[in-house]
Structure 1
Amino acid sequence: MIQCFDKGVFLENGQLTETAPVPAARARENTMAWQILQAHNVSGDPERLQVRFDAMVSHDITYVGIIQQARASGMKEFPLPYALTNCHNSLCAVGGTINEDDHMFGLSAAKKYGGIYVPANQSVIHSYAREELAGCGKMILGSDSHTRYGALGTMAVGEGGPELAKQLLKNTWDVPMPKVVLVYLTGTPKKGVGPHDVAIALVKATFETGFVNNCVLEFCGPGIRDLPIDYRNGIDVMTTETTCLSSIWETDQVTEGFFRTHGRPEDYKPLHPGEVAWYDKYITIELDKVGPMIALPFHPSNAYTIKEFLANAEEILKGVEADARRRFPKANPHLTDKIHDGGVWADQGVIAGCAGGLFDNIAEAADILRGKFTGSGAFSFDVYPTSVPVSLELMKLGATADLLESGAIIKPSFCGPCFGAGDVPANNGLSLRHTTRNFPNREGSKPGEGQFAGVCLMDARSIAATAANGGRITPATDLDYTPVHHEYHFDDTVYKNRVYYGFGKADPSVELQMGPNITDWPKMYALSENLLVELAAVIHDPVTTTDELIPSGETSSYRSNPLRLAEFTLSRRVPEYVDRSKAVARQETARREGTLSEHLRQVLSQVGDADRLAESTQFGSCVFANKPGDGSAREQAASCQKVLGGFANICYQFATKRYRSNCINWGILPFTLDEGTPFDYESGDCVFVPHIRQAVEQGREDIPAKVICRDGSVHDLLLHIKGLTADEKEIILDGCLMNYYAARNKE
């Protein structure tokens, strides 16, 4: 079905071969990824990219902070098309207007700086980017990890907010030329097998080993030909879950049809690898052998075929329960209760967002449910079309009526079910979702308070089949139905009437509309000569997600208020973290004011003269995790640590480039350890890093440190900071990206 080959391969005239008449070094320049990246590279060095993007997108959890950073650093207008969508904080806070204050800030910023403002519930971020911004050969940067438009010939990257602020300040996205991995598609999917099935199978094959980590996936092969554009988009958006950097697909008449339908035929051009192209690795996908898939909690890679899951449901669900008890001691999971009456029963089905809410997914779900009923039991079925134009077309062809008659509820364009702000299941509920993630707490439950729910990812087709059986989990391939192909017609009338198109029309006289929950960043300090950090959280899970570092869901209301939001840091994984970090920060404040706490004096005395060291040693908190930063691009996973006085992460490996960049941009030192180095230290132990400022200035990558344990023992520890660019060094030395820009604006 899917095979991964950890070796280079040539693609010669569309065929895989291990030998070719062109050297690999030259043939690598014939990949689509190379051609697009180099066309946007302004460094002059093809191996050290400095990229300027064609457009940017942000949603209402991130754009306030990005604009605040950029304007504090001297921005006067948006230098490129920048769309501000309102699809995450679309629900007003109960009893107040906190979220709507963010929206009014966004509209005023679009007018002041020349941006594009998409009002709430008009479109989810990635749908709008596909419909209005993507183009063959273009590059788009987004402050959301699922910024992926490769199926439309657009290389797109999801990053933390500071990277977007850099673009607004006419600076560049800096990265080494990534490896390019060929994804070679053959065959045609079976009826009932949808894009999420292919995507989940791909994530299962690649995630755990990190096979494509920080690589570009390049999709080629004869299997593309018969895939509709929504099918391609549905696979492509999930490539984020493989931890790849970006993606790009061959384009054809199907791609051309998309741009023609959306009134932008000029944005199409054929994209193919050169006659002979070379790839660092390759993956083969036989589409005809992919079956309906289900991804069990707590990751899209924890996947099985639905048939395999149903045959082994008790064993598999017991494993999920055991994992849940380990993660959430206060929770009492009972998912094996879902096995009864000859099947496994779900409580909820949801089709939503940039992956699920696509026109073809919903239209085929309607074909499956036409004339059937979801039942009057506990099972509920909610459908969120990805944009108002998609909703309009579904209404016109009658799919919306068919779904409503079946018992489904049609909801507005909103990303909530994907990050825990909508359709939160009941305690011990089992939810089936065609959304992008099923990380811990991603559905919005609060296991720290004893409430637990599980989310399984499935394709819209099998979710509809399950709904047709009243909640009994059913692969769509088991149902006899006739999918009807519907030609999509894009009507942009509502966009013309509701979207504010301000690019190129900046009006400096417009005042930013600031709500009481929109606040500036607290003062941050430059890196001192030495660094002492106290471990405020020690996490030995294989991977720590950004959702665990800063939870989504109800915390979203405070995304524009750094101090309020920081109170939620690690709240669902290490609830003690915030109080521990605050205690450290109070001691650092006192040190700056000339008073040395007894605790700090005692720790410093273990490595030298405490009074002398106190003059040149910053004291902050630190997070240790084996592999932190998988998942969302949200910069708050790092900035909240910094707001609380965090100065370092220590890990064996960063899960994603974007989280490591977030740490650097917020002045958090990205320390790594050699694999195999034991780290059996506990919260409250401290790590002293002498001469850290000098080490960063000189680009030293091996950094000796001392661990001072609470029992008074001292141990040597070798830390690393690898591959910092010149700008990244300066950002860390200055304390954060905002300080970096502020210092240069004074020069």
Structure 2
Amino acid sequence: MVKLYEQGMYLLNNQEVVEKVSSTSKEQAKKGTMAYEILQAHNTSGNPEKLKIKFDSMASHDITFVGIIQTAKASGLKKFPIPYVLTNCHNSLCAVGGTINEDDHMFGLSAAKKYGGIYVPPHIAVIHQYMREMMAGCGKMILGSDSHTRYGALGTMAIGEGGGELVKQLLCDTYDIDYPEIVGVYLTGKPSKGVGPQDIALSIIGKVFSNGYVKNKVMEFVGPGIATLETDFRNGIDVMTTETTCLSSIWKTDNDTRTYLKAHGREKDYTELSPKDVAYYDGMIYVDLSQIKPMIALPFHPSNVYEIDYLNDNLEEVLKNVEEEGRKILDTPNIEFNLTSKIVNGKLKVDQAIIAGCAGGTYSNMMESAKIIKNKSCGNDELSLSVYPSSQPVMMALTQNGALNEFIASGAIIRTAFCGPCFGAGDTPANNALSIRHTTRNFPNREGAKPGHGQMTSVALMDARSIAATVANGGFLTPATDCDFESTNYNDYKFDPTVYNNRVYNGYVETEENVELKYGPNIKDWPEMSKLTNNIIIKVASFIEDPVTTTDELIPSGETSSYRSNPLGLAEFTLSRRDPQYVARAKAFNELEKARVNGIDPTTLSSELKEVFEKINSITKDINPMDTVLGTVVYANKPGDGSAREQAASCQRVLGAVANIAKEYATKRYRSNLINWGMVPFLIDDCNDFGLNDYIYVPNIAQTLASQDLSDIKAYVIGDEIKEIKLYIANMTDEEKLIVRAGSLINYNKTRMQE
């Protein structure tokens, strides 16, 4: 059972949740949270409400670190100032695009040598498992260029952001945010055998995603139920907090946390973290672990959650509703989306099963799945099972205790540590197949299908235990609570770091400054980007009315990953799944901006634009086309749910975008990406006055960004008639305003270097 409190609540002695206390003021009790203590310990501003955070370490993987290092290098990078882990767990296969994936890896290794980084080669560990095993510790803060950067169960406040925020840390700048609200997650009870971390995570996500209960807030896990969970189990819940859209997470630590860190040779990184005797939370989520049942998140979001038992009892009704909603989301009339066809003799039959990555590939998930599938068969028909242990040390332990043999004997395929199934670069299902996965997301087509080619597949998220139970039952959906198996004691786990000692390059202590960076032919520099002028004209190049627009729709994941080091090549995929004509529209208008930058009056190249300027003269006399930035804009109701990938913004910028307009931004990290790429994050309450291909004139925007009041920005839709509309911008720091006015973080840093 998961319950949301409608108001802030107090926690007394980590045991009792109450609405009021008389002994302590609310303001004092707000300082009683673990989050407050950790954030202030890393805050360099001196102002507890306006945070300037410096992190203890950072992490990136091989579809983000090249761009980050290139950007920092252009801004004067000499040495990594903090430990920076470069893992290679996304473009691991080195199979698409010739040499370009391995070229990125070699760039990463050369950068680790030159600047003092920690380089983890392909197939050795997925990013978050390595950070859990080797870097996270109590009271620390870690920044990662992956949205699932979450190590709260180990006492670390970790945040996933776009690359621009990591660049700032590399240049010894700070992560600037207002002090966030803190929401308590009160755990009580003990999970039933067969209920896993994904079940608990999905139960919470289903309650808080759609209402924004924890959006951009910190989730602080407290309560007596924590003691009933082993730390490896807690990790599995924690990593999924990203799907709630929270900013970060932190857990009360205890002797089990110490045991986990000790097992990994890092007992010195243990400190007991606990709320003070009285702590105030801006919201509270009450979770009775004993009432949680095996769950399934049906397409196309982790919040589309049902109890497996309920789904099995109501198959026709539920699946028809999902089909109806799915057709609205997919908007692909030529492709049939059909889940009810998976009902066989009154039961739901799946086609594929996967346990993988930072969420599914942990030791305890693998162990208990192996016990469930022992002496069972995957069968010799369509159904397949692939398992991906999250690191080579986990793989070694599973080999030594025989768990891998149980998987192999059942017919399962054993893979190395790789994030591919989570973002569409591995085990893409067959057309019209239904895949059940213990991974992190099930967004439309994230698993690798291409609707533009007539392909359609579906992914449902489940816990590893129920996945194993389903496979053992011939592919018919089965909760693990129906199975009898022996629970895993994590204390039996023997972590062996030999593979890390033999293969991981650690240059943090001593750099090799004379090493030259290794560039493959696909690694390209960022193109020049125009500085924001006082007046701008923006053309609506895409108008998306979906309730939520994910980063996977803004820039697809799997098939684009090999081009993440090539800004122009990658930009060709922008919105390709959602609005295939966007790139052509954006490029056409960007040609006029390029002409302006090169000294050619753009109105001489476009009679339509000339007419627009003539109409604008009734608003701003003698407006000069040569002093007016021409850029495109994407409108979406709520863009940016999902990945931290900065390319969701940078690809728009490379094609000439200068703004987004939205009713709200799904995540703080997407909005930060827009800002770091010099794009104005406009907000609007009513979008009915403009549409696709309309021109919007925004006068005095640079001047407005230099002011404190961003609440009422006059803009004009230039059509047959001129319509005034109201835009506004949520709070921005002074530095963020300067970045947007400069045209990008790169431009801003270059200016600082010159000064």
Shorter-chain TM-score: which interval? over 0.9
Following TM superposition, by how much is the alpha carbon of 1:658 offset from its aligned partner in structure 2, in angstroms? Answer: 0.4
Residue 135 of structure 2 corresponds to: 133
- Residue among 571, 587, 598 paired with 2:607: 598
- 8 Å contact kept, 1:50–1:175: yes
Structure 1 residue 407 displacement after superposition: 1.1
Residue 413 of structure 1: aligned partner: 417
String of CA shifts for 1:155-189, please: whole Å, max 9, x gaps: 00000000000000000000000000010000000
Give how far 1:613 is off.
3.4
1:612 Cα deviation after fit: 3.1
SS of residue in 2 equivalent to 1:77: coil
Report the counterpart of residue 13 of structure 1 in structure 2: 13
- CA separation in 1, counterparts of 2:240 and 2:334? 32
1:637 aligned partner: 648
Q: What is the alpha-carbon distance in structure 1 between the residues aligned to residue 623 and residue 542 of structure 2?
A: 28
Secondary structure at 1:35 match in 2: helix
Instruction: Look up the SS of the partner of 1:698 in the other structure.
Output: coil
The residue that corresponds to 1:377 in the other structure is: 381
Q: Which amino acid aligns with 1:105?
A: F
Q: Show the counterpart of 1:700.
A: 709
What's the offset of the Cα at 1:671?
0.2
Q: Does 1:552 align with 2:557?
A: yes
Shift of 1:581: 0.3
- Give the superposition deviation at 1:604: 2.0
The one-letter amino acid of 1:569's match is T
For 1:24-39, list aligned pairs within 5 A: 24-39=26-41
Tell me the secondary structure at the aligned position of residue 51 of structure 2.
strand
Query: 1:495 — aligned with what?
Result: 500
SS of the aligned residue for 1:438 comes to: coil
C-alpha displacement of 1:680: 5.3
1:448-487 equivalences in 2 (<5 Å):
448-485=452-489, 487=492
Q: Distance in 2 between matches of 1:6 and 1:511?
A: 57
Contact 2:530 2:629 in 1 (8 A): no
Deviations along 1:657-711, one digit per CA (max 9) or x if unpaired, are 000000000001000013xx2435321011110011100011331344444355x
Aligned partners of 1:12 and 1:277 also within 8 Å: yes
Q: How does 1:45-194 map to 2 (within 5 A)?
A: 45-94=47-96, 96-194=98-196
C-alpha deviation, 1:93, in angstroms? 3.0
**Aligned residue among 331, 345, 348 for 1:341:** 345
Match of 2:630 in 1: 619
Moved more, 183-192 or 677-686: 677-686
Return the alpha-carbon distance in structure 2 between the equivalents of residues 215 and 222 of structure 1.
Answer: 22
Structure 2 partner of 1:733: 741
Give secondary structure in 1 for the equivalent of 2:533: coil
* Match in the other structure for 1:576: 581
Residues 267-282 of structure 1 aligned to structure 2 (within 5 Å): 267-282=269-284
User: Is residue 607 from structure 1 mapped to residue 611 from structure 2 by the alignment?
Assistant: no
| 8 A contact 2:616–2:718 mirrored in 1 | no
Q: Distance in 1 between matches of 2:713 and 2:529?
A: 26
Q: Name the SS of the counterpart of 1:606 in structure 2.
A: helix
1:95 Cα deviation from its structure 2 partner = 6.1
SS at match of 2:285: strand
- Alpha-carbon RMSD: 1.2
Query: Could you tell me how far apart the structure 2 residues matched to 1:429 and 1:163 are?
Result: 38
Count of matched residue pairs:
744
Answer whether contact 1:189 1:289 (CA < 8 A) is retained. yes
SS of corresponding position for 2:615: coil
Q: Which runs of 5+ in 2 are unaligned?
A: none
Task: Kindly provide the CA deviation profile for residues 190-221 of structure 1, in whole angstroms up to 9, marking residues without a partner as x.
Answer: 01110000000000000000000011011011
Tell whether the 8 Å contact from 1:324 to 1:331 is kept in structure 2 after alignment. Answer: no
Amino acid at match of 1:735: G
Structure 2 equivalent of residue 666 of structure 1: 677
Quick check: 1:32–1:248 contact (8 Å CA) kept in 2?
yes
- Does structure 2 retain, via aligned residues, the 8 Å contact 1:325–1:331? no
> In structure 1, how many angstroms separate the alpha carbons of the residues matched to 2:488 and 2:566?
48
The worse-fitting range, judged by mean Cα deviation, of 598-607 and 80-89 is 598-607
Give SS of 1:38's match: helix
Equivalent position SS for 1:156: strand
Q: What is the percent sequence identity of the aligned residues?
A: 57
Q: 2:447 aligns with which of 440, 443, 465?
A: 443
* Structure 1 residue 324: Cα displacement: 3.4
CA contact (8 A) 1:673 1:720 kept: yes
Q: Contact 1:330 / 1:448 at 8 angstroms: preserved in 2?
A: no
> 2-side partners of 1:47 and 1:430: how far apart?
47
Alignment match, 1:691: 700
Contact 2:533–2:629 at 8 Å: present in 1 too? Answer: yes
Contact 1:681–1:709 under 8 Å retained in 2: no
Shift of 1:504: 2.7
**Residue among 350, 355, 359 paired with 1:351:** 355
Give the match's secondary structure for 2:741.
Answer: helix
Q: Which amino acid aligns with 2:457?
A: A
Q: Which amino acid aligns with 1:520?
A: D
1:331–1:449 Cα contact (<8 Å) kept: no
> Structure 1: how far apart are the matches of 2:95 and 2:467?
30
1-structure distance, mates of 2:687, 2:146: 34
1:304 to 303, 306, 311: 306
Q: Which runs of 4+ in 1 moved over 4 A?
A: none
Secondary structure at 1:294's aligned position in 2?
A: strand
Task: Give distance in 1, aligned partners of 2:502 and 2:740.
Answer: 45
More deviation in 430-439 or 712-721?
A: 712-721
Matched, 1:526 2:531: yes
Q: Which consecutive unaligned segments of at least 5 residues does structure 1 have? A: none
Structure 1 residue aligned with 2:519? 514
Letter paired with 2:513: P
Q: Residue 529 of structure 1: CA displacement? A: 1.2
For residues 479 and 145 of structure 1, the distance between their equivalents in structure 2, rounded to whole angstroms, comes to 34
1:586 to 587, 591, 606: 591
Letter of the 1:607 counterpart? I
Bigger drift between 328-337 and 106-115 goes to 328-337
Shift of 1:375: 1.2
For 1:177, the aligned partner's letter is Y
* Separation (CA, whole Å) in 1 of partners of 2:607 and 2:717: 15
Q: Distance in 2 between the 1:499 and 1:482 partners? A: 35
Alpha-carbon distance between aligned partners in 2 of 1:152 and 1:131, rounded to the nearest angstrom: 10
Distance in 2 (alpha carbons) for counterparts of 1:319 and 1:645: 40
